[in-house]
Amino acid sequence: PEKKIPVTQPRINFVPLPEEIAEVALFHIANVKDPVVSFGQGCEGEPLMVSATIEKAIKLIRSVTEKGMINLNTNASKPQAVARLFDAGLDSIRVSLNSVRAEYYHRYYRPNAYTFADVIRSIKIAGRKNGFISLNYLVMPGFTDLKQEYLSLKRFIASNDIDMIQWRNMNFDPLKYFKKLRIARPNPDSLMGVREVIDNIHYDFPHLLKGYFNPSRQRIKRFFKK
């Protein structure tokens, strides 16, 4: 208690210039057979907070090469910024969600200066821009496999242009999570089981890619050629 918790990864304390970002990205793209470059990774903060810098970096990258997949891992809080990034050359977006029901999303994420409706708008913009859309879906047994949550996810997928679900195990104390979401400990009769949820979703939506990482262009092509 008397000391700060040490960070596992050191953070830079400045925003890189677009030219610096592009230099790193272009080096990677030039030296990897099927490259993916990505902005943001849950633990690194929200990249849309510096969307103007990222927009310039993407334009610089795309002025040199069309090779590679440029991805954004995001909470999708700023729809207009998302639109500008796709116009600049962004290829894919991965949106983090713990639930597709607004009340439970808000209770967990506690959004500041945006709402779940903004997240939906960002996803729909990505679809209109022909972007590849992944859900970074945070899984908690006892909540994710509630029948109502499953049915809500089905409706969400059907009404949006979702291409992939990255089923992400949530490292969170279950009892604290249920308390935060203000839900009672679930009745076993109301649960499906996580494996059944995943199997049913991919049976009902066979076009959905599933996995744990942002896919490259070649992986996407191989999947959709099946």
pLDDT at 187: 81
pLDDT at 158: 95
DSSP assignment letter at 9: S
pLDDT at 186: 77
Question: What contacts 52, CB < 8 A, 6 or more positions away?
Answer: none
Residue range 38-90, pLDDT digits in tens: 998 766 679 999 999 999 999 999 999 999 999 999 999 999 999 999 999 99
107-123: average pLDDT? 96
List the beta bridge partners of residue 69.
36
Question: Vertex 20, ends 18 and 22: CA angle to 5°?
Answer: 70
Query: pTM score > 0.85 for this model?
Result: yes
> What is the spatial distance between Cα 143 and Cα 178, in angstroms, rounded to a whole number?
8
> What is the spatial distance between Cα 141 and Cα 138, in angstroms, rounded to a whole number?
10
> What is the spatial distance between Cα 147 and Cα 49, in angstroms, rounded to a whole number?
35
pLDDT at 9: 74
Compute the chain's Rg from CA coordinates.
19
Residue range 167-194, pLDDT digits in tens: 999 988 999 999 999 988 778 888 999 9
Element containing residue 62 per DSSP (H, E): helix 51-64
Question: What contacts 27, CB < 8 A, 6 or more positions away?
Answer: none
DSSP assignment letter at 160: T
Question: Which three-class secondary structure state does DSSP give residue 58?
Answer: helix
Pull the structure tokens for residue 220. Answer: 């996407």
Residue range 136-158, pLDDT digits in tens: 999 999 999 999 999 999 999 99
